């Protein structure tokens, strides 16, 4: 059974009635809703009792705050799943059934969550995949999601806000695991100046309340934050490597960062305002890593006017890096003052020997499709994969061709894990094929290079690139 615990204090009565109605009418029927009146409220009590439903139970207590009300409600709860609910939330009809089914299916999971919407088409909060590390950087799980009753630690009645962050940190710190389900489980009223969320988001209040949770959970007060709106996985990987915080948009809430490192910056008209907003706050250092996708966009799709405007703005405020000399040439011709430094990356895969049958991953843009149709016929003893659906250890090499001749994340991972690289990109220890010649010669050189390098000893390459992609150079910049 699911126990919904619903604290009530001076609610919007019409919305509170809709809240209870949505719980009663949802598809999952094995539940109880414990309405905790945090102080006398005859009107709210009348609304709860008007449904004449035995599953709706009313508990009255003197006013003491929402955490005390939730803890009181938990004392009366009989379910094996606790779901702390707000009185201005409207549950989606099948949300409870979906979450209960997931908890029943996976016994290793102790809580389930998703995103939520604001009533009145005012947007929503989508949340993100469960990761205990990113949870320590900031909360992304609302109060209003179910947990197994056995892991409920009690609400900290001393905190003024951010109780949701605190309780999920506590539960995860005790060894529990969460499961993220994409979508929206409920709708809720948009925060106002008088709501707990609204009161806690002022600059003075927010920083103090964040500090209270950090002190309680012994979380580091980091001054460096990594962000990325287009390469989140790489951004998180970099943040973990250099022991920085990670946030998609660091200045979404007040903070004390003095340095922001941004991975990726799109100048596309539909994205540029969001990407440039990350750098809008005053900082000691602003560091930008242009990715290969950004470089290609600058080279092919951005107007001269935009390049002139943004190069001037970025050059005056930001330390900029690209990953190789080809990218440097493109970005400098577009007006950006960049230096070459690969985004630091640590190898997380074991360096293993090559597979018995030579297998090569082909990563090319559409420009080279026709050129590569002959590979299977020219090298019949080699298996070519055009989709990366196997672990890196199953490949001897990667063939990577793109018209901008810049290095991407896939090539970097291959280099760090001891795989050969054959490419039109000129980089140390890579097999270079010049594609600026007649097609027949390109094919001939490509076949010869694959044959010679697919099984070549890569130990010198691994040593070189491990140093080139270490965090040391970036840390020197930050110092």
Report residue 123's pLDDT band, with 50, 70 and 90 as the boundaries. confident
Q: How far is CA 373 from CA 90, 370, 421, 444, in A?
A: 55, 5, 19, 13
For residue 59, the Cα-to-chain-centroid distance in whole angstroms is: 40
Instruction: Please list, in sequence order, all residues whose beta carbon lies within 8 angstroms of the beta carbon of residue 158, skipping any fewer than 6 positions away.
Output: none
For the chain, list the domains and their CATH numbers.
2-215 (3.90.550.10), 222-343 (3.40.50.2020), 359-466 (3.40.50)
- Convert the pLDDT of each residue in 342-379 to its tens digit: 999 988 877 888 999 999 999 998 888 888 888 878 89
Spatial distance between the Cα atoms of 234 and 236, rounded to a whole number of angstroms: 5
Strands (DSSP E) contained in 152-275 are 178-188, 224-227, 245-246, 259-263
Nearest of 299, 306, 257 to residue 278 by alpha carbon: 257
Exposed e or buried b per residue across 51-60, where buried means at least 16 C-beta atoms within 10 angstroms of its C-beta: eeeeebbbbe
Report residue 201's pLDDT band, with 50, 70 and 90 as the boundaries. low
Spatial distance between the Cα atoms of 76 and 84, rounded to a whole number of angstroms: 13
Nearest of 373, 382, 408 to residue 423 by alpha carbon: 408
pLDDT given for residue 175 in this prediction: 97
Report residue 388's pLDDT band, with 50, 70 and 90 as the boundaries. confident
Nearest of 469, 472, 422 to residue 450 by alpha carbon: 422
- Would you say 307 and 267 are in contact if contact means Cβ atoms under 8 Å apart? yes
Cβ atoms within 10 A of the Cβ of 371, count? 15
Instruction: Please list, in sequence order, all residues whose beta carbon lies within 8 angstroms of the beta carbon of residue 237, skipping any fewer than 6 positions away.
Output: 345, 346
For the cut 70, the answer to whether the pLDDT of residue 199 exceeds it is no
Spatial distance between the Cα atoms of 284 and 4, rounded to a whole number of angstroms: 47
Spatial distance between the Cα atoms of 360 and 257, rounded to a whole number of angstroms: 44
Report residue 196's pLDDT band, with 50, 70 and 90 as the boundaries. low
- Convert the pLDDT of each residue in 428-458 to its tens digit: 999 999 999 998 899 999 999 999 999 999 8
Task: Write down the number of H helices and E strands in the chain.
Answer: 19, 20
Backbone angles phi, psi at 115, to 5 degrees: -100, 180
Spatial distance between the Cα atoms of 370 and 390, rounded to a whole number of angstroms: 24
Cβ atoms within 10 A of the Cβ of 22, count? 17
Spatial distance between the Cα atoms of 383 and 357, rounded to a whole number of angstroms: 8
CA triplet 343, 348, 353: central angle to 5 degrees?
Answer: 115
pTM for this structure?
A: 0.87
The whole-number average pLDDT for the span 77-97 is 97
Report residue 211's pLDDT band, with 50, 70 and 90 as the boundaries. very high
Spatial distance between the Cα atoms of 128 and 131, rounded to a whole number of angstroms: 9
Q: How far is CA 350 from CA 148, 346, 393, 416, in A?
A: 37, 12, 8, 10
Report helix, strand or coil for 307: helix
Spatial distance between the Cα atoms of 201 and 417, rounded to a whole number of angstroms: 44
Exposed e or buried b per residue across 182-200, where buried means at least 16 C-beta atoms within 10 angstroms of its C-beta: eebbbbbbeeeeeebeebb
pLDDT given for residue 464 in this prediction: 93
Spatial distance between the Cα atoms of 264 and 251, rounded to a whole number of angstroms: 17
For the cut 80, the answer to whether the pLDDT of residue 148 exceeds it is yes
Report helix, strand or coil for 3: strand
- Convert the pLDDT of each residue in 212-234 to its tens digit: 999 999 999 999 999 999 899 99
- Convert the pLDDT of each residue in 39-60 to its tens digit: 999 999 999 999 989 999 999 9
For the cut 80, the answer to whether the pLDDT of residue 478 exceeds it is yes
DSSP 469: T
Cβ atoms within 10 A of the Cβ of 351, count? 14
The whole-number average pLDDT for the span 380-406 is 91
pLDDT given for residue 307 in this prediction: 94
Classify residue 387 as exposed, middle or buried by CB count within 10 Å of its CB (0-12, 13-18, 19+). exposed
pLDDT given for residue 197 in this prediction: 53
Nearest of 191, 195, 143, 204 to residue 169 by alpha carbon: 143
Spatial distance between the Cα atoms of 163 and 169, rounded to a whole number of angstroms: 10
β-partners of residue 3 are 32, 82
User: What is the overall mean pLDDT for the chain?
Assistant: 92
- The DSSP code sequence of 109-125 is --EEEEEEEETTT--EE
Nearest of 126, 58, 114 to residue 87 by alpha carbon: 58
For the cut 80, the answer to whether the pLDDT of residue 204 exceeds it is no
pLDDT given for residue 451 in this prediction: 94
β-partners of residue 432 are 423
% of the chain residues with pLDDT over 70: 97
The whole-number average pLDDT for the span 282-298 is 93
- Would you say 61 and 36 are in contact if contact means Cβ atoms under 8 Å apart? yes
Q: How far is CA 469 from CA 35, 141, 225, 422, 424, in A?
A: 56, 34, 19, 19, 21
Give me the sheet containing 245-246, strands edge to edge: 245-246, 224-227, 259-263, 285-289, 319-322, 338-340
Work out whether the CA dihedral 233, 239, 245, 248 comes out positive or negative: negative
- Convert the pLDDT of each residue in 249-279 to its tens digit: 998 888 999 999 999 999 999 899 888 888 7
């Amino acid at each position: 059974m699911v126990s919904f615990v619903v604290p009530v204090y001076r609610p919007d009565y019409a919305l509170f009635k809709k809240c209870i109605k949505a719980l009663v009418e949802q598809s999952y029927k094995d539940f109880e809703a414990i309405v905790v009146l945090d102080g006398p409220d005859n009107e709210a009590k009348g609304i709860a009792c008007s449904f004449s439903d035995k599953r709706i139970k009313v508990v009255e207590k003197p006013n003491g705050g929402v955490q005390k009300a939730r803890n009181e409600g938990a004392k009366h709860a009989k379910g094996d799943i606790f779901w702390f609910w707000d009185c201005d939330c409207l549950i989606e009809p099948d949300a409870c059934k979906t979450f209960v089914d997931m908890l029943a299916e996976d016994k290793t999971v102790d809580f389930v969550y998703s995103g939520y919407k604001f009533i009145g088409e005012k947007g929503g909060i989508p949340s993100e995949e469960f990761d205990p590390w990113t949870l320590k950087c900031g909360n992304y799980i609302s109060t209003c999601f179910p947990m197994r009753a056995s892991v409920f630690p009690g609400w900290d009645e001393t905190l003024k806000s951010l109780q949701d962050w605190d309780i999920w940190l506590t539960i995860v710190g005790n060894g529990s695991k969460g499961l993220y389900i994409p979508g929206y489980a409920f709708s809720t009223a948009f925060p106002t100046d008088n709501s707990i969320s609204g009161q806690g988001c002022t600059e003075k209040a927010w920083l103090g309340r964040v500090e209270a949770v950090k002190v309680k959970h012994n979380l580091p007060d980091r001054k460096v934050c990594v962000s990325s709106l287009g390469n989140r996985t790489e951004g998180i990987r970099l943040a973990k490597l250099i022991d920085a915080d990670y946030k998609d948009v660091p200045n979404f809430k007040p903070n004390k960062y003095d340095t922001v490192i941004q991975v990726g910056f799109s100048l596309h008209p539909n994205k540029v305002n969001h990407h440039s907003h990350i750098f809008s706050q005053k900082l000691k250092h602003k560091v930008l890593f242009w990715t290969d996708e950004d470089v290609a966009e600058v080279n092919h799709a951005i107007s001269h006017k935009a390049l002139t405007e943004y190069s001037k703005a970025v050059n005056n405020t930001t330390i900029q890096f690209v990953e190789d000399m080809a990218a440097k040439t493109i970005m400098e011709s577009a007006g950006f003052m960049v230096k070459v430094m690969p985004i630091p990356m640590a190898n997380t895969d074991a360096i293993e020997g090559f597979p018995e049958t030579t297998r090569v991953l082909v990563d090319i843009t559409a420009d080279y499709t026709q050129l590569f149709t002959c590979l299977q016929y020219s090298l019949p003893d080699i298996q070519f994969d055009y989709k990366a659906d196997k672990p890196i250890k199953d490949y001897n090499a990667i063939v990577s061709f793109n018209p901008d001749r810049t290095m991407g994340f896939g090539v970097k991972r291959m280099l760090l894990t001891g795989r050969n690289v054959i490419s039109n990109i000129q980089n140390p220890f890579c097999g270079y094929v010049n594609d600026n010649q007649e097609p027949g010669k390109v094919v001939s050189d490509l076949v010869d290079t694959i044959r010679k390098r697919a099984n070549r000893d890569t130990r010198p390459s691994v040593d070189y690139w491990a140093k080139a992609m270490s965090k040391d150079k970036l840390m020197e910049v930050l110092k």
